[in-house]
Structures are given as C-alpha cells and as structure tokens.
Amino acid sequence: MLDKFIIEFDKGLRTLCAPAASQRPHPDEAIGDAPLSEAEKRHALGLMRVNHCGEVCAQALYQGQALTARDPAAREALREAAFEEVEHLAWTERRIRELGGRVSLLNPVWYTGSLALGVAAGLLGDKWNLGFLEETEHQVEAHLNSHLDKLPEQDAKSRAIVAQMRDDEMRHADMARDLGAARLPLPVRGAMKLTAKIMTGSSYHL
C-alpha cells in the first residue's frame, strides 16, 4: 500500500514539476511562427494555459481511474490513453513557453481534485468508470473545438496542437465506448460541465 502511494505521489510530482516528453513529433513542429499582436499573444497564451491545465487534470483522472479499475483491459486502455495525455502536456507546455508565459499556478489544486474524482469514478465499477472517461473526452472535444474558433486565425502553431489533441480525445472516447462505457445521468454530465467551466475560467487568468 505504501509502495503504491509513493509511486502515485511520484507520478503527481512529475506531472506538476517535470517537463513532459513527446514520442510523436509536436504537431506544430513544421510550422513557422506568425507575427501576433500583444493582445493576440496574451489571448492565445491564456487559452493554451487552460488546455495545459486540462491535460494536468486528465493525467490525474486517468491515474485515479487506472488505480481503481477492475478489468485488466480497462486498466490497460486507461494507461495507454494517459500516455497520449503526457504528449498533450508536452505540446501545450512548449507552446506556452514560446508565447512567453507560464503554466497555471492552480495546477496542483486541479490535479488533486481530479485524482480524487478519478479514484471515486473507478470505485463505482468499470462501466461507470469508462462512462466517466467517455463523457470527459466528449466534453474536452467540444471545448477544443471552441478554442479553434477562439484562437487567433494566424496562430497556426497553437491551432495545429489543439486540432491534434481534439482528434486524440475523440479516439479516447471511442475506446471507452468500445470497452463498455455506460451513459452518465444528465445531472452528472451537467456537474462535470460546470466544474470544467470553473477550471477554464480560472486557469485562463492564473
């Protein structure tokens, strides 16, 4: 038990403090920097900070869910998806630096909350655990699509990252559905949307 705790604590510290690495090339690798006004840069930075914070939450959720998932196939799928979320972390992290900013100061708070939520979802059993995952990914997909509307038109680098992340999240949702995810009740879906709204609103500024 203590070993398990130390391993998970170490994962958390790494997510929050160590730079993430990507095995795939960054989606904006081949794209040059376009000139952005100060206001556009600030706006793109805020949006990418929100996306980075979302990926920190994804790490914690998957980590919590994998800890409590019963079916080995579900556990394995969660670990695989978590691996791609690390790449998302790496992409958004680098883009934030290029835009001249820093990651959200609230990341540790959201990480801790998401980890608890992931553990709780896992304890409800695999079909609800996967249902929670599928719903999260659908909401993230919609959120990323909205960012494609909001990001400055000429910021092709941030847009390429967000578009690839959106495609990955859609795949994660399909994977959860194929593994037997249950549809979450409407009030739960609503509560998740509300929580995400608070997260995005706060990490844009902080």
Q: How far apart are alpha carbons 101 and 195 in whole angstroms?
A: 24
Residue 159 as a binder of Fe ion (CB under 5 A): the answer is no
Q: How far apart are alpha carbons 56 and 16 in whole angstroms?
A: 7
Smaller CB separation from Fe ion, 49 or 172: 172
Residue 85 as a binder of Fe ion (CB under 5 A): the answer is yes
The answer to whether 24 touches 178, Cβ cutoff 8 Å, is no
Binding residues: 55, 85, 88, 137, 169, 172
The answer to whether 144 touches 92, Cβ cutoff 8 Å, is no
In whole angstroms, what separates CA 19 from the centre of its chain? 15
**What six digits make up the tokens of 158?**
């941030």
- What's the closest the beta carbon of residue 161 comes to Fe ion, in angstroms? 11
Size of the residue set binding Fe ion (CB under 5 A)? 6
Residue 134 as a binder of Fe ion (CB under 5 A): the answer is no
Site for Fe ion in 49-78 (CB under 5 A): 55, 58
- Candidates 15, 75, 169, 182; binder of Fe ion (CB under 5 A) is 169
Smaller CB separation from Fe ion, 143 or 157: 143
**What six digits make up the tokens of 11?**
């994962």
User: Pattern of binders to Fe ion over 187-206, x per CB under 5 A?
Assistant: --------------------
Binding residues for Fe cation: 55, 85, 88, 137, 169, 172
- Candidates 26, 49, 88, 138; binder of Fe ion (CB under 5 A) is 88
* DSSP tally for the chain: helices H, then strands E: 7, 0
Q: Which residues of this chain interact with Fe ion, rule CB under 5 A?
A: 55, 58, 85, 88, 169, 172
